[in-house]
Every structure is written in structure tokens, then in C-alpha cells.
A and B are shown apart, each in its own frame.
Chain A
């Protein structure tokens, strides 16, 4: 999909790559951007909310919102917001898009990004008393203590059994 002309005019940071359009905005503009895309461009359906972690960079977290049209040929657009490591807060979009409820909880659970205004921001995939956010890049895969209920399970490379 090519960049719709109105989108190119309205936003400063619009990139088209591999047929996908990405709009980058600040978190203060997020709600307004999504509302505008929804009302004026027909992107009424939210497919996905997710994050990527780039430790050592600022912003460290990038939250990506995948929007699409529904009815007729699908057009898609991605809205991205960068968040600093010191202040990983972003407004929740569960008001205009109720489907974001669980998707935002998942990002909170796995990345530790806080969605301000979310009605029930608790862990979703991991137990409530889990420590840490496993999809962050500084969390190792395997060989870590099972940080749950105080259990200590030694890493595989230090075990005798």
C-alpha cells in the first residue's frame, strides 16, 4: 500500500517500506492520531499491539499498533511510539479500541510497559507474583532461576543432575 496523501500531509514521520506504511508519533499524540486515522481514513479495526526492546538506545521500547480497514480490500497502517527506559508509560487505548485490553496487558506482562488508564492492568500470561519481564532483551533464555514462589532452580550448566 502506498502512503495515503492526507497521511503524508498530516504526519511528519511517515515511512513506506515493503508495501507497509508506518507512522511514528510521540506518546502525547497517540490517542489523537488513532482517532484521526479511524475517523478520516477508515482504519477502524485494531489488529495488534506489541512492543520491541532495544536496550542501550533511547527510546528503548517501541510500541507498534497495527490498524486495518474492515470490509473490502484491506489497507493497513502501523503507528509506532517510542518510550524511554526511565519512563515506560503510554496512554491506554482501551477506550476507543476495547480489543487492546488483553494486548496491552500482554505488553505490560512481557515488557513492563505501563499503559496509563488501562482498566485492569495485571499480568496475563505469567503468574501474578512473577518477577521481571521475560521478553526484555536483558532477560536470558534458560539458565535463569525460576523466579516464582521463591523456588531456586539452578541453571543447566551448573547442575549435576
Chain B
């Protein structure tokens, strides 16, 4: 039988006393379709090779066949737990190519939804990793609070996931009536709930036993492997693009980059909990800024999609007022709408790399235009993809059960890994 070369020892012989097992791709504890080829000596992992690609959907290729505006609807599906960050990084790249400045109010909306998204993503991480280690109640609590955020997203964008809310030049629409009250309600309950998670887990002997000293990745190794986000910050490095390369006005918000020095799964747990608190601070500051009315889309009819949305009895859809305008009143408006919606906008030739701090680290978009109406190349530098490379170094030498805790602490989202 042929064996993977990585799992052979130096002599080229297959070691008879070890066992090779497949963990995944359909394993409830591997966060989607991640497959790990593990070589075990008893219960100890002596070799590990992650195998990915089971969720490859060709998002990067697809964007090359659609207009720039349509690109938003594809990239948002890559890392499906942080859709706003995908949209934001893509739109920032295209805006830099176009040389467009986004209105202040749109930037505040982007920051606010991005931070709510960070909380909801961390909550999914908390819920699933809790479940994997046997803490079922934390799964229920995490999903319960995430549901509040999903309701906010649905009220603001019309969708729970894959919103395509952030568009080139701004955002698609302003906050709906009652949107602010919903967010304030969430801000009021959430700090107490985060405290509850801490009460349940921080001193829980089982949780400590399963997480402390597990999945250690030192700062030096993390940097060599390109690991960013909470994993790097849990190793004592405060790298955070919101602080170090501010975008969307992050330099004007008050918040801290959270760090720990233990570099293990428990440190990552603490970092993520505290990051949720920091995100709540930012959201509160956004709400204050959003008291100032203003445009949410750049004032340029050649870039802003003309279609308007409004909230109807069955949710968000085409604005009837606008439909009447283009269908009955103005032939020019219809022609303009048709041209922009089908042909799209031409983006000046060039290349840019724009990066944002997603819940998992540096999410970068390398975007190339050849001056046409469609992207020439969109490369998504997804933090999950890069961070997952650290799996073998984190699990080798540990027990199989620790592999579960280690992978959970990486927080990989396979939609982003495989794209």
C-alpha cells in the first residue's frame, strides 16, 4: 500500500508500530471539511498532515467573469463567518484602484457592522469549540447571543449571511428605522453575557485542563508561519491592522489590542473574550457618530449602482418608488440603470493589496485590473488558510484529544481556506 511520503520516517520504511488514521473530512470536530492525516503512536500524534480543498468553489476565478460590483457577492461567501470583512477588504481594494473616497457615515457603518461581525464570529468559535470539548451549555449560550446579532444583520442588510451590504463606494443603504434601538439593546445585554462565559469557563477545571499548555505556538514560530490575528496576539505580539495600518477611520476609535503571553489555547480563549468587549466599545462609539446624518454612498453616478432598496412588508427589496421612476418616468434613468447594472464600471489598470483585520487575522485582497469592466485577478489572502499551516507544529507530540482543542483554537473557517 502506498503511504504519503510525509508519514514515512527518514529511512523510507513505514514504521510498523504506528497507526495512520484520517480525521475528517467529515468529522464533527474539524470545523467543516478539514482532513487531517494523523500518524499515531498509541494515543500520541507523531505526524500530522492537513489536507484541504474539499470546499474549493473557485471564487477567485468566478470574479474574473463578473463585473466589479458583482464581485462583492462572491467574495462575501469565502470566509462565511466574517462576510463583512471580506466585502470590506475587496471594496477597499477596488476603491483604491478607482481613487474613491468613501463618505464618513458609510465608514462608520462599515466599522460598526465589522465589529458586530467580529463578535458573532468569536461567538461561533466559542460555541463550537466549547461543544467539541464537552461544554454543551456554552454552545447554547454562544449561539443564543449570535442569534441577536444575526437579527441585527437581517434588519440592516436583509440577510443573515453573505450580505453584499458593503458596496464599492460605500454601503447599499442606511440603517433602517429601529436599527439603532436593536443595537443598543444588544450593547446593554452583551457585557453581562461575556461575563457569564467567563464565569462558566475561566475557572472550570475541565476547561483549564483541556486548554492550558495545549496547542502552543510561540511568537517566533507564528511569525515565521505567517500566523496573524488572535493566535499571534495570544503569543504576546500586539499586531492588529486596526491599530498598525488603520482603515475606515479606526485610528479615531478608542480600543485596545488584546494580548496574552502564554501562546496556548487558553490564551486564545482569553484574547477572543476580551476582543468581544473591545468590539462592543467600538460599536458604541459608532452609534454616537451615526447620530450625524449623511450620505452612505459616494456621490458619483458612474460608480454608485443606481438601484435603491427599501423595507417592504415582506422584508428588504426593490424600492417601488425607484422602480416607478425608471419604468414610467425617465427613459434616461432606465438606460443609466441598465448600463451600469449590466456593463458595470471600468476600473483603471493597476494592482493593489488591501488588508483588514478579520476575526482570524490579516485578510488581504490582491486585486489586479487591466482597465476593463471585470477584475483581471482577485486573490484572497485568507487568514484561515495561512494559520492552518501551523496545525502540525501545534499537535505533534500531543494526544489525539488535544488536536481537537488545538484546531478549535486556530478557528479555521474552511470556506475561507478553500475559497
Contacts and interface: CB of A to CB of B under 8 A. Distances in A.
A66 B244 CA distance: 16
Interface in B166-212: none
A73 B381 CA distance: 20
Interface residues of A, number: 37
A125 B368 contact: no
Contact of B381 (A47, A52, A72): A47
A50 B237 contact: no
A125 B52 contact: yes
A97 to B, nearest CB: 7
Interface string A97-108: 111011100000
Counting chain B CB atoms within 10 Å of each CB, the highest count among A103, A125, A134 belongs to: A125
Interface string A1-38: 00000000000000001111010000000000000000
A48 B389 contact: no
B389 A47 contact: no
Interface string B25-66: 000000000000000000000000000110010101110110
A78 B350 CA distance: 13
Given A66-B353, A101-B389, A124 B223 contact: no
B281 interface: no
A153 to B, nearest CB: 15
B366 A103 contact: no
A120 interface: yes
A81 interface: no
B237 A103 contact: no
A74 B389 CA distance: 23
Interface residues of B, number: 43
Given A52-B376, A66-B366, A20 B352 contact: yes
Contact of B224 (A50, A74, A97): A97
Given A66-B364, A135-B60, A18 B353 contact: no
Contacts of A134: 58, 61
A126 B56 CA distance: 8
Would you call the interface of chain B mostly helix, strand, loop, or mixed? mixed
Contacts of B113: none
B396 to A, nearest CB: 15
A7 B226 CA distance: 24
Contact of B52 (A20, A64, A124): A124
A79 B141 CA distance: 47
Nearest to B353: A66
A144 B377 CA distance: 20
B379 interface: yes
B386 A102 contact: yes
Contacts of A135: 60-61
A125 B59 CA distance: 12
A6 to B, nearest CB: 22
A98 B220 CA distance: 12
A127 interface: yes
A73 B244 contact: yes
Contact of A47 (B96, B226, B376, B419): B226
Nearest to B381: A48
B314 to A, nearest CB: 32
A18 B386 contact: no
Interface string B393-419: 000000000000000000000000011
B241 A52 contact: no
Contacts of A123: 53
A71 interface: yes
Contacts of A83: none
Contact of B351 (A44, A64, A97, A141): A64
Contacts of A52: 351, 368, 376-377
A126 B350 contact: no
A48 B244 contact: no
A15 B99 CA distance: 18
Contact of B53 (A22, A78, A97, A125): A125
Contact of A141 (B6, B61, B379): B61
Interface string B238-275: 01010011000000000000000000000000000000
Contacts of A46: 226
B385 A102 contact: yes
Given A48-B379, A66-B381, A71 B225 contact: no
Given A20-B352, A78-B351, A99-B386, 12 more contacts: A47-B353, A47-B364, A48-B381, A50-B379, A52-B351, A72-B244, A97-B224, A98-B225, A120-B6, A124-B52, A141-B58, A141-B61
Q: Across the A-B interface, give the 5 residue pairs with the lowest CB-CB distance, nearest first.
A: A99-B226, A74-B245, A48-B381, A125-B53, A50-B379
Interface of A: 17-20, 22, 44-48, 50, 52-53, 64, 66, 70-74, 76, 78, 97-99, 101-103, 120, 123-127, 134-135, 141
11 contacts: A18-B350, A52-B351, A52-B376, A52-B377, A71-B237, A71-B239, A72-B244, A73-B244, A76-B353, A99-B227, A125-B56
